[in-house]
Structure 1
Amino acid sequence: MRHLIFLFLGLFFFSCDEKSVTTFSELEGSWNFVGYESGYLDCPIDSVYLNITKGDKEYKVEGRAFVNLFHSTVDIGEGKSFKFGTIGSTKMAGPPELMECETAFFEQLKHISIYKLNGNRLHLTYEAKPEQSSIPPVLIFERK
Structure 2
Amino acid sequence: MKDSVKLLGCLVDVGILLGLIVGCGQQRAVGTDGVDESSAPTVTMPSPAEVAGVTLNGIYDDAITLVVGEYEGEPFEPEGASRPRIHLITELMPHGDLNGDGVDEVVALVSENSGGTGHFLYVIPLTTIDGVVQQLGSALVGDRVNIRSVDVKDGTIVMQTIEGGPGDAACCPTHKGTRVWTMQDGVLTETVSEIEGPFSLADLAGPEWVLKAFNNKETAPETPEVTLRFDLEENKFVGSSGCNNYFGSVESSESRKLTIGPLAGTMMMCPPEVMDVETRYLKALGGAEGYGFNLGRLAINYPGSEEYGVLLFEAREVEATE
TM-score (norm 1): 0.72
The residue that corresponds to 1:6 in the other structure is none
Alignment partners' CA distance in 1, 2:269 and 2:205: 30
Alignment partners' CA distance in 2, 1:61 and 1:138: 17
Which string of whole-angstrom CA distances, capped at 9 and with x for unpartnered residues, describes residues 34-60 of structure 1?
1212317x63445211110212xx521
CA contact (8 A) 2:292 2:299 kept: yes
RMSD: 2.6
CA contact (8 A) 2:299 2:313 kept: yes
Q: Which structure carries more relative contact order (alpha carbon 8 Å, separation 6+)?
A: 1
| Count of aligned pairs between the two proteins | 122
Alignment partners' CA distance in 2, 1:43 and 1:19: 35
Alignment partners' CA distance in 2, 1:109 and 1:97: 19
The 5 Å alignment of 1:45-60 reads 45=223, 47-55=225-233, 59-60=235-236
| AA in 2 matched with 1:108 | A
Q: Which of the numbers 258, 278, 281 marks the counterpart of 1:105? A: 281
- Give 1:74 deviation, angstroms: 0.8
The residue that corresponds to 1:9 in the other structure is none
The residue that corresponds to 1:78 in the other structure is 254
The reply to whether residue 28 of structure 1 matches residue 208 of structure 2 is: no
CA contact (8 A) 2:224 2:274 kept: no
Further displaced range: 79-88 or 132-141 = 132-141
Q: Which of the numbers 95, 99, 112 marks the counterpart of 2:271? A: 95
User: What secondary structure is seen at the aligned counterpart in 1 of 2:243?
Assistant: coil
- Give 1:91 deviation, angstroms: 0.5
TM-score (norm 2): 0.34
* Structure with greater helix percent: 1
* Structure with greater strand percent: 2
Q: Which runs of 5 or more residues in structure 2 are unaligned?
A: 1-165, 168-174, 176-195, 317-322
| AA in 1 matched with 2:225 | S
CA contact (8 A) 2:297 2:315 kept: yes
Q: Evaluate the alpha carbon distance shift between residue 143 and residue 46 of structure 1 in structure 2; reply closer, same or farther with a 3 A threshold.
A: farther
The reply to whether residue 39 of structure 1 matches residue 39 of structure 2 is: no
The reply to whether residue 142 of structure 1 matches residue 314 of structure 2 is: yes
Q: Evaluate the alpha carbon distance shift between residue 118 and residue 64 of structure 1 in structure 2; reply closer, same or farther with a 3 A threshold.
A: same
Q: Evaluate the alpha carbon distance shift between residue 135 and residue 95 of structure 1 in structure 2; reply closer, same or farther with a 3 A threshold.
A: farther
The reply to whether residue 133 of structure 1 matches residue 305 of structure 2 is: yes
Q: Evaluate the alpha carbon distance shift between residue 45 and residue 115 of structure 1 in structure 2; reply closer, same or farther with a 3 A threshold.
A: farther
CA contact (8 A) 1:36 1:136 kept: no
- Give 1:120 deviation, angstroms: 3.7
Alignment partners' CA distance in 2, 1:91 and 1:31: 22
Alignment partners' CA distance in 1, 2:298 and 2:260: 15
User: What secondary structure is seen at the aligned counterpart in 2 of 1:79?
Assistant: coil
- Give 1:69 deviation, angstroms: 0.4
Q: Evaluate the alpha carbon distance shift between residue 122 and residue 71 of structure 1 in structure 2; reply closer, same or farther with a 3 A threshold.
A: same
CA contact (8 A) 1:33 1:45 kept: no
